Structure 1
Amino acid sequence: MTIGVVVSRGTAQSFDVTMPTTADRWMYPFNVTPGTRPAGSVFGYTPFPLEESFDNRDGQVIVAFDTGDLIPSGAGPGRYQIDRLVLEITLSGPASSEIDVTVDDWRTYLPSRTAEALPDLDPGRPIELFGAGFRFGYDLLTWTEDAPFSDGDIFGIENRNVFAAGIDANGGTFDVSSNYTAGFTAEPLAVARFPGYDAGEFAIEGAVATFEVDLTVPGVRTWVGEGLDAGRLVFAITSLVGASQGDAVLTQFYLRENPLVEVGVREASTLDLAVVIKKGCDVPGDLDGDCATTGGDLGIFLSLWNTDDSDADFNFDGVVDGADLGLILGWIGL
């Protein structure tokens, strides 16, 4: 499903789009079918005593969206005004843990007998959305869903080619795949909620995990703007919910290669975005965005006569009228 609405009038373009994933991948060290699995599971590995055999966020689902197909890239990161970002992905089976809509402190994963341990005051463990970071020469545009798990060793921590990444205040990324071992609480972009379910309930197959990103967090809009400028956004879905080899139930999500997705019965991940691309020049009276004030702008201005349009109300008195006409005529040179 691809839905797009574009509103354009010189000074800015507004985009309201919903797009399907263009690449998804279950990132797990022993995944022998990269890029072609029908589902991907999320689970954690939080051993005690601490050791570094595997990342704590062991099973991750990576989802990528080629945004440039619907939202023009290359405008410059600072010109993208992001007003809404919601990612959805559908369970391909029952969840392995109750719905938890809060971030859990890393110390709640420690055994209760340890001095640092904190109690987890609500049931379940959260499913969390992070940005994606890259290493070993991969980046936002060169990583593909069939790329190797690691160009290093599959054992150990912080060695994935693409990984769950926290976003710093400047829009930079850092690996949070082993935040438990490192001793810090990773702050996600969003925690999954399941419409139709309450916290503490178990979601079943077909339930939609909904991640509504808080765009007011410092650095998040910068990170998203850089992705839109490049034409691609990549995310990691993870959880620290425990799992054991042979578990009958793991929290799994549909990936785009799933037969039910291919025939339209179920959806893989989708991204819902509301974005405004602001004009790239600051010329008074330039209503058509060509960085000059000409007769074309005058025509647009006259079509807005006697409205409260903020772009054409040059003197900010709440109405487009003769006073504004005098200003634009002066800028044109008439």
Structure 2
Amino acid sequence: MNRPITLPFYAKLSFILVILICFAFIFCTGKDIITPVLMAFLFAVLLLPIFTFLNTKFKFPRHLAAIVCLLIFLSFIVGILVFISYQVTYMANDFGTIKKNANSFIIEIHKFIRENFQVSIGEQKKYLDTVTKDSVKNGQATIISSIISISDVLLDSTIIVIYTFLFLIYKEHFKLFLAKLISPQNHTVLKDILSQIKVSVNNYIVSLIIEMLVVSVLTGLGLWIIGIKYFILLGLITGILNLIPYIGILIAGVITVLASLTGSADTSVILGILIVNIIVQFIDNNLLVPLIINSKVEINAFVSIMGIIVGGAAAGIAGMFLAIPLLAILKIIFDRIESLSPWGYLMGNHVPRKFRWRTRKAAVNN
């Protein structure tokens, strides 16, 4: 009978670090390929209850059930985009007012800088002209890069839809593949891991949607109170962009300020917008995220922030979006493998009890 090999701690730690470095290198090298696959996996997990319901209750064939799920999902996305595009087109009718108020607002800023920083309006305009000339020189390259970015987004979106369809119809095939990799005595653990991953990812995405809706309603209500014209559109945009950690709310704030110029260039309105965004973010960060998001994934704030930063550095906005569900999946796996359970505890949101170091002398006395 073969006896298991027992490795010292430093050897185990070395193996873990080497594996992490290899995974990081593979992901950074092939992020353009891996990111759409991971996004499709999350969407497939989200649509899995609908797929199972259609396949088992209504006896839809697997391919037809997957197609219906994708049509429902795409209809929801297209509906939001159509509503936003309609509202933006309606807002374009006020472009003249926006331009007029923007000019008035810029003049007020010039006066503020002149009075408080002793920089004349002529010097300010000279600096702006220099910046504008540099922007014009790079304008063609910017347009080309924007076109390439849009084409990449469309291509990735198409690939994600295809991958999601394939994940749904080959669900059992992938399960059997994992079962063949693992010895039969560990199949119970594998089944538990897969079940928990499905529940955790599903709950996380549903929680994000709930958070998006609540932030949209609160922002829209706040903008309506201070008299912003397109409060429904701006509230929805804020809720959607809030899904992007850190930078999303900043982009939404800039868009809201620009849209507020359809009414007037009064600085009090802009101040009101900033107050609304601060209040909504306070509610989101201190109430919605702890109650809705963190309660579902059970990842502590330190690991979440580190994961978002690393994900953003590795794969941009998509990496920031994928960071939390991937960390949740890793925690589920770590918690159910005895040798990796300390890492699962490190990632968790447990409240530790007072720890007493157990020295050899104390162990002997006990």
The TM-score normalised by the length of structure 2 is 0.21
Structure with the greater alpha carbon radius of gyration:
2
- Which one has a larger percent helix, Structure 1 or Structure 2? 2
The TM-score normalised by the length of structure 1 is 0.23
